Structure 1
Amino acid sequence: MKKLSAILFVIALYLPAMAQPGANHQVLALTGAKIYPSPGAKPITAGVVLVQDGKITAVGSAKTVKIPSDAFVIDGKGKVLTAGFWNCHVHFIEPKWLHADSLPAAQLSKQLSDMFGRYGFTHVFDLAVFDFSNLLALRKRITAGEVSGPAIMSVGVPFTPPNGSPVYIRPLKLPEIGTPAEATAYVQKQIQAGADGIKIWAASPNGHEVVSMPLDVARAAVSAAHALGKPVFAHPTSDAGVDIAIESGVDILAHVAPDDHRPWDTATIHNLLRHKTALIPSLKLFKWELLRIGLPLDNGNLIATALQQAGSYVKAGGEILFGTDVGYVTDYSTTDEFDFLAQAGFSFDQILTALTTAPAKKFGLGAQTGRVAVGMDADLVLLEADPATDSKRFADVACTIAKGKIIYQAGK
């Protein structure tokens, strides 16, 4: 019995690799799908994409692209192909990620597939972790090819103002920083440890009140991060938090801020645009939180306010990045997020931009990923149906490929 168990474990460990193109640089061909090369580009009907050594080597119609006879073929007839998706607001704080340096590779690959690959994500940005060294260990194993999963960027461990640890992470606490010098030192330390950005709570609910970060502290954090070429994210919570984030020079709001139940007016939108502040709406969070604590979905017009804020900003031409707060939100499905974005007035091209080209450009990878084009990394998503007719179809993923490697395939 022990021998049989050992054999089954070995099979499970190597099963993901068995679904990949051969190790001898075999060409992967995705055929028959409707291809959206990039937002706004003319789609290719019944197209072909060839991949070799992790790069896209050909894109075109079946009439113009010759498929090698020994290619590993994925039939995409009746499906839709786009560039791989980014989720710019995730967390690796669930207990299942502990001991990432020693957990079996097959187990980690399965967890990553269930959380990210299943929904088309080839890149994710972690916006708060409690054990940064553990996440770095996971990232190292993915980069080495030992574990199959998306490319991971991270802000490491974020910080709040004094007495500002968020009520919803109790009994845990985040670092609380109250002076510009402390903020500068902490930012430098995080980036030296491997952080790809920094996150602050511009305003944080501690369970008794919403505590705002002193503007000089926020400015010091932003200045230190920018000096090292890294972006800064802010959790705004309130109108005051939005103002602090903008005035301190924060690059990205991790959420809209409906807690004060006030729509964003023309002045707020103008200020965000003037400072080129990007927004991750993370709209599903508010529905999930209300359901989690047993409140009605129309409670204080929270969701309606969130939709107005996101919709007003995208309509004004604001930069939008896709994110779901998954990992804190334990329901991994992206269907609600796409539905809410559509309700807020986002078009197909605006959603596709937020998923692909906008984050790739924002984080310095626009020449490498985010489009279906020759020479780009083979980060690709095959969808069951066309999201141009229904945004929720962005969630119906048939296959996800990261740098030429299949990290999710429906039914496999």
Structure 2
Amino acid sequence: MMKTLLLALLLLLPRIFYAQSAAPEGLALTGARIYTAPGKPPVENGIVITRGGKITAAGTSGQIKIPAGMKVLNCKGLVLMAGFWNSHVHFMEPAWFNAATQPAATLTRQMQRMLTGYGFTHAFDLACLDFPNLLALKARVQSGEVKGPAILTAGVPFAPPNGSPFYIRPLKLREIGVPEEAATYAARQLADGADGIKLWSASPDGHGIVPMPLEIVKAAAGAAHRLHKPVFAHPTADTGLSIAIAGGVDVLAHVSPDGYRSWTPEEITLIQQHHMAVIPTLKLYKWELERNGVTDMNNPLMTTALQQLGALAKAGGEILFGTDVGYVTDYSTTEEFLFLSQAGLNFDQILAALTTAPAKRFGKEASSGRIVKGMDADIVLLKADPHTDIRHFSEVAYTIRNGEIIYDYRKDR
């Protein structure tokens, strides 16, 4: 009898040893300088503990005890902050075609090139032309099969009558000129899985600026707001800005420099009174100018964009970081950070645009944007401190989503 029990125990030992030596749940990040939120002083030699996709502890090495057996990532010399939001992207390039059937590894590598390699743990797609394809990509990321940022989408946007933007030719957007049609279209997009809607409040058709009738904007915005969803607008110029404000738009997808007119103090006040946020996308204008052979950045398109953002930032307006990548084919974020700084934004304003401001604007404030206990374990680790040089915001060492490392500079770039 005793020999039988001993034999049974010996047979179980390999299984017991295997279970104990398996990769432990959770991750401890040690030794980093931690910026817990904009406006807060950094925590030196900090520790962040994640478990089950959440931050379970954050503080100094003297405050936090690392659980036995937990995986530890030595972050000495790195700078830790909440994962970044890119509030203006597009998954429209050929690399995203057939998202339902492409190999997961292929899509993950493209995510690293475009987004996670720059610290983004959330991305808001502001215009797609193949909505089922984008929803398939979003589902594969949600399942964990594809390693990427959480994706939100504004679905397929629409333009004013005869107002499809010239730069997408030969393609055309849906053009809507009847309020009831706009409301129905917006509601259907949201029912199909969109997280917001996008429209052109004024569109460049190649000959001039085509404004969207105000009643169309109001109808679409009303349909979205009844479902508590945000409305984005491409304003193009001052005409589009005025229509967006009057129509109830929540977020400008760009500043509006095409008219080469600075925003007035009265317009800044209206933007703030209507609780409107702005995504600057300043690098977009440099990119477009260079594509057209213009290398002088004293061009009025660029100087107007910088003035408009600078006036809003000085007044304390709400700014969301976004790059328009997917339309812009240069994924690097360095120039966007430099332009934000040139427009007058300081470190805390830029950090807020990357973290707390979009989290609050898009209803994720309770789970995203700060490094505190209970928040989602969405984290970026930078190679150097952007407080000393704003370009360091683009120098990412690790991107962590739900406690899992989805970008590692040592092997993924």
Same fold? TM cut 0.5: yes
Q: 3-state DSSP class of the match of 2:398? A: strand
The 5 Å alignment of 1:325-364 reads 325-364=324-363
What residue number does 1:319 align with?
Answer: 318
How far residue 118 of structure 1 moved from its aligned partner, in angstroms, is: 0.4
Per-residue CA distance 1:259-290 (angstroms, 9 max, x = gap): 11111111111111111110001100000011
Q: Deviation of residue 299 (structure 1)?
A: 6.1
Query: Aligned AA for 1:408?
Result: Y
- In structure 2, C-alpha distance between the alignment counterparts of 1:300 and 1:95, rounded to whole Å: 32
SS class of match (1:359): helix
Aligned AA (2:163): G
Deviations 1:17-51 (A, max 9, x none): xxxxx976522011111000001112100100011
For 2:403 and 2:206, how far apart are their aligned partners in 1?
A: 46
Q: Indicate the residue corresponding to 1:161 in structure 2.
A: 160
2:60 is aligned with 1:44 = no
Matched residue, 1:18? none
Query: Equivalents in 2 of 1:332, 1:384: separation in Å?
Result: 19
Whole-Å Cα distance in 2 between the matches of residues 218 and 275 of structure 1?
Answer: 15
- Deviation readout 1:287-342 (Å, 9 max, x if unpaired): 00111121233364211111110011011011111000011000000000000000
Distance 1:140 1:23 in 2: 28
Q: After the TM superposition, which residues 56-205 of structure 1 pair with which residues of structure 2 at under 5 Å, given as runs?
A: 56-205=55-204
SS of corresponding position for 2:158: coil
**Residues 268-347 of structure 1 correspond to what in structure 2 (within 5 A)?**
268-298=267-297, 300-347=299-346
1:176-224: per-residue Cα shift (whole Å, max 9, x none)?
0001011011001100110000001000011122100000001101011
The whole-number CA distance in structure 1 between the counterparts of 2:44 and 2:71 is 21
Q: Which residue of 1 aligns with 2:9?
A: none
For 1:319, the aligned partner's letter is E
Q: Deviations over 1:162-189 (max 9, x none)?
A: 1111111111111000010110110011
Distance 1:390 1:263 in 2: 28
Equivalents in 2 of 1:23, 1:129: separation in Å? 42
Query: Structure 2: how far apart are the matches of 1:67 and 1:138?
Result: 36
- Equivalent residue number for residue 221 of structure 1: 220
Whether contact under 8 Å (2:24, 2:69) holds in the other structure is no
SS at match of 2:63: coil
One-letter amino acid matched to 1:122: T
SS in 2 for 1:73: strand
Instruction: Please tell me whether the aligned partners of residues 160 and 176 of structure 1 are also in contact (alpha carbons under 8 angstroms).
Output: yes
Return the alpha-carbon distance in structure 2 between the equivalents of residues 330 and 144 of structure 1: 27
Q: Distance in 1 between matches of 2:280 and 2:25?
A: 40
Superposition pairs for residues 370-389 of structure 1, below 5 Å?
370-389=369-388
Contact 2:24/2:70 (8 A) holds in 1: no
The one-letter code matched in structure 1 to 2:228 is G
Range moving further from structure 2, 263-272 or 96-105: 263-272
- Is the contact made by 1:25 and 1:53 (CA closer than 8 Å) also made in structure 2? no
Report what 1:33 is aligned to. 32
User: What is the CA–CA distance in structure 2 between the aligned matches of 1:51 and 1:289, rounded to whole Å?
Assistant: 42
Equivalent pair of 1:27/1:68 in contact (CA under 8 Å): no
- 1:96 Cα deviation from its structure 2 partner: 1.1
8 Å contact kept, 2:24–2:71:
no
CA–CA separation in structure 2 for the residues paired with 1:23 and 1:247 = 59
**Alpha carbons of 1:245 and 1:25: their partners in 2 closer, same or farther (altered >3 Å)?**
farther
How far is the alpha carbon of 1:140 from its aligned partner? 0.4
Q: Distance in 2 between matches of 1:166 and 1:145?
A: 36
* Rounded Cα–Cα distance in structure 1 between residues aligned with 2:171 and 2:122: 27
Partner Cα separation in structure 2 for residue 145 and residue 278 of structure 1: 31
> What displacement does 1:70 show?
1.9
State the AA in 1 paired with 2:319.
I
Identity across aligned pairs (percent)? 60
Provide the rounded CA distance (Å) in 2 between the counterparts of 1:202 and 1:89: 17
Q: Equivalents in 1 of 2:192, 2:26: separation in Å?
A: 38
Q: Is the 1:33–1:77 contact (alpha carbons within 8 Å) kept by the matching residues of 2?
A: yes
Q: Corresponding residue for 1:19?
A: none
Structure number with larger C-alpha Rg: 2
Letter in 2 for 1:286: Y
Query: What is the deviation of 1:107?
Result: 0.5
Q: 1:110 to 1:47 in 2, by over 3 A?
A: same
**Structure 1: any 5+ residue segments left out of the alignment?**
1-21
Task: Return 5+ residue gaps in structure 2 as ranges.
Answer: 1-20
User: In the TM superposition, what whole-angstrom CA distance separates every residue of 1:139-171 from its partner, at most 9, and x where no partner exists?
Assistant: 101111111100000000000001111111111
SS in 1 for 2:318: coil
Give the corresponding residue for 2:248: 249
CA distance in 2, matches of 1:369, 1:267: 33
| Structure-1 separation of matches of 2:395 and 2:39 | 21
What CA distance in whole angstroms lies between the structure 2 residues aligned with 1:403 and 1:219?
38
Structure-1 residue corresponding to 2:264: 265
Partners of 1:48 and 1:59 within 8 A in 2: yes
Task: Tell me the secondary structure at the aligned position of residue 210 of structure 2.
Answer: strand
**What is the SS of the residue equivalent to 1:223?**
helix
Aligned length: 391
**Counterpart contact for 2:23–2:71, Cα < 8 Å:** no
What is the Cα deviation at residue 75 of structure 1? 1.4
Distance 2:211 2:275 in 1: 22
